[in-house]
Copies of this chain bind each other. A is one copy, B any other.
């Protein structure tokens, strides 16, 4: 087993292309402590290994699932402690799921109200629109 630098190390640009993240975002994740500061090449450019590529994939997937960076930070701490279990993922995802369902319900309520407004404004052919008037007044 040699201890020399792996030939599989890649630049930040290659990492970004691989995972679909932007270069600036990767540096941002490093700044806020989600990604560890990687080793640098002679000129100061960052070099990433397989572990960091996998870590960024984890972040990307979790973000895509709508987890906040704080949620992800929590999960990654468990990863770093080597104690992340299915149970942890289950708990975090369940909480997240009910938040999502709440947001869907909120938006659906909003949709009904807006739909009603659109409907009433559509047919509002009278000179003074009661819908507009109502917007300017305290709710009854």
Which residues of A does B touch, CB under 8 Å? Answer: 18-19, 54-55, 57-58, 61-62, 65-66, 84-87, 89-90, 93-94, 96-97, 100-101, 103-104, 107-108, 110-111, 113-115, 117-118, 121-122, 124-125, 129, 131-132, 134-139
Say whether B137 contacts A118, CB under 8 Å.
no
Q: How many copies does the complex hold?
A: 2
Identity of the chain B residue whose Cβ is nearest the Cβ of A51 in the assembled complex: B136
State the main secondary structure of chain A at its contact with B: helix
Say whether A137 contacts B65, CB under 8 Å.
no
Selected from B90, B101, B121, B139, the residue in CB contact (under 8 A) with A111 is: B101
Tell whether A85 pairs with B129 under 8 Å between CB atoms, given A58-B136, A65-B110, A135-B61.
yes
